[in-house]
Chains A and B, each alone.
Chain A
Amino acid sequence: MISLISLVVVLTLAIYMYRVDRKLKMLTNAVSSKLIIKVLNTLKSKRKLRKRYIVFEVLSSKSVGKGELEQEVRNTFKKIFGDIHLARASISLSYYDENLNIGVIKFTHIYKYKVLASLGVVKSVRDTKVLIIPLRITGSLRKALKYIKDKEQFIKR
């Protein structure tokens, strides 16, 4: 009896799926692919903007201050990509250890490559030559700080 019922249920589901699939195909044929792409892009753009944290190390001949570095990174980003992208990327220096020369930059996830590119372009901070090396990108500040702590312990050892 149970097997019979299950067989009926499976058959009904299969017929239903077949019909839904056919309807979907008809619908996709009716709507042009350009429109689908447009809708998908709109959906993508309306997704929540997430934060990312990039852990970086600074190699410099002299020590560099937190404010100066943040200003220089922002200026470089602005020069390359403009004011609108700078505002959208919302770049800020969340953490900077002047002894270890390691810091964390917060930004919006869709600007990952733009931020990386602009960090590569930063070559000096107030007449001090610098090289910014990206170490890791994390999804939370806690993980970024944990990475720095682990690195600090590794250096001490």
Chain B
Amino acid sequence: MLNTYVDLNIKPYKNVDLSNLLRIASKLGYVAVAIEGVDVVSNEFNRLKVLPRVTYKYMGKPITTYEGLRSHLIVYEIDQPTMIKALTSLRGRCHLIRIAKDALTGIRKKHINALRSCRIPIELSVKELISNNSINYTYLKNFLKLLPYVERGDIELVVSSYAGDEYELIHPIQLIALLKELGLSELVAIKALTGVPMKILRMVGSGV
């Protein structure tokens, strides 16, 4: 599983050259990426597997039908901590739950327990953690609350870049080093970039 780094969240800006973005992602060592907001993408670019991604805002219950989204990565985004409830209804209906910045900053113990019980991988992005060549304190504070549960294996974590252009991408080795410095063990940090995303990719192949 080593060196099979996957970035499950790339959301290019409107005027960004997508082929250049994918070229840099391939150069950084990623084997697969999931791209948001792009309708038609080739399946493979320079040995880099490209996957379309669809994100829905979670409003308390899941959408019942997904027409024409058989080979898409389906993600539910939670942007408020109060929405972190009844997540078990999402089981089997999405591949991933993305916790947005505002949701993470107001997270409490009961929300963490809800995330633990739903058994769906959680996505956190580095772009929100890093701001102005430094680490965002409020985001980090709540990010650190989740880490003991990730270390114990109660929550499956996926760390993605959420890059809008090629400069917002991050090298997987740097990301592993950052997670290690935040307190995760090296094995779990590598798993957040390789093992868990690869498991999700296999699920995408077989549909939701």
Residues of A within 8 A of B (CB): 59-61, 72, 75-76, 79-80, 112-114, 116-117, 119-124, 129-134
- B131: nearest residue on chain A (CB-CB)? A123
Tell me if B167 and A123 are in contact (CB < 8 A): yes
B19 within 8 A of A: no
- The yes or no answer to B28 lying at the interface (CB within 8 A) is yes
- Which B residues between 101 and 149 are near A, CB-CB below 8 angstroms? 130, 133-135
What separation, in Å, do the CA atoms of A52 and B125 have in the docked complex? Answer: 30
- What are 19 A-B interface contacts by the 8 Å CB criterion? A59-B24, A60-B167, A72-B133, A75-B133, A76-B134, A79-B134, A80-B135, A113-B181, A116-B174, A120-B171, A121-B178, A122-B133, A123-B167, A129-B165, A131-B166, A131-B167, A132-B174, A133-B27, A134-B173
Smallest CB separation, B136 vs chain A (Å): 11
| Interface size of B in residues (CB-CB distance below 8 Å) | 21
B169 at the interface (CB under 8 A from A): yes
Q: A117 — which chain B residues lie within 8 A by C-beta?
A: 174, 177-178, 180-181
B134 to A, closest residue via Cβ:
A79
User: Which of A61, A113, A123 contacts B177 (CB under 8 A)?
Assistant: A113
The distance in angstroms between the C-alpha atoms of A79 and B169, with both chains bound, is: 21
Chain B residues close to A by CB (< 8 Å): 24, 27-28, 130, 133-135, 165-171, 173-175, 177-178, 180-181
Question: Do the beta carbons of A123 and B133 come within 8 Å of each other?
Answer: yes
Q: A59-B24, A130-B167, A131-B166 are in contact. Are A121 and B133 (CB under 8 A)?
A: yes
Q: Which residues of A contact B178 (CB under 8 A)?
A: 116-117, 120-121
User: Assuming A75-B133, A121-B130, A121-B135, is B174 touching A129 (CB within 8 A)?
Assistant: no
Nearest opposing residue in chain A for B178, CB measure: A117
Which of chain B's residues has its CB closest to A113's CB? B177
Q: How many Å from the CB of A132 to the closest CB on chain B?
A: 8
Q: Which secondary structure dominates chain B's binding surface?
A: helix
CA distance A123 to B135 in the complex (A): 11
A120-B175, A120-B178, A133-B28 known; A80 and B170 CB under 8 Å? no
A124-B133 in contact (CB<8A) = yes
Collect the chain A residues with CB atoms within 8 Å of residue B165's CB.
129
The complex places the Cα of A124 from the Cα of B168 at a distance, in Å, of 10
Are the C-beta atoms of B134 and A131 separated by less than 8 Å? no
Which residues of the other chain, B, contact A114 by a CB distance below 8 angstroms?
177, 181
Report Cα–Cα, A101/B132, bound state, in Å: 22
B167: which of A59, A72, A119 is its contact (CB, 8 Å)? A59
- With contacts A79-B133, A79-B134, A124-B133 taken as known, whether A119 is within 8 angstroms of B24 at the C-beta atoms is no
Chain B residues, CB < 8 A from A59: 24, 166-167
Q: Is the CB–CB distance between B173 and A116 below 8 Å?
A: yes
How far apart sit A70 and B31, CA to CA, in the bound complex (Å)?
Answer: 31
Is there an interface contact between B171 and A134, defined as CB atoms closer than 8 Å?
Answer: yes
List of B residues within 8 angstroms of A113 by Cβ? 177, 180-181
List of B residues within 8 angstroms of A79 by Cβ: 133-135
Contact flag A131-B181 (CB < 8 Å), given A80-B135, A119-B174: no
Shortest Cβ distance from A61 into B: residue: B167
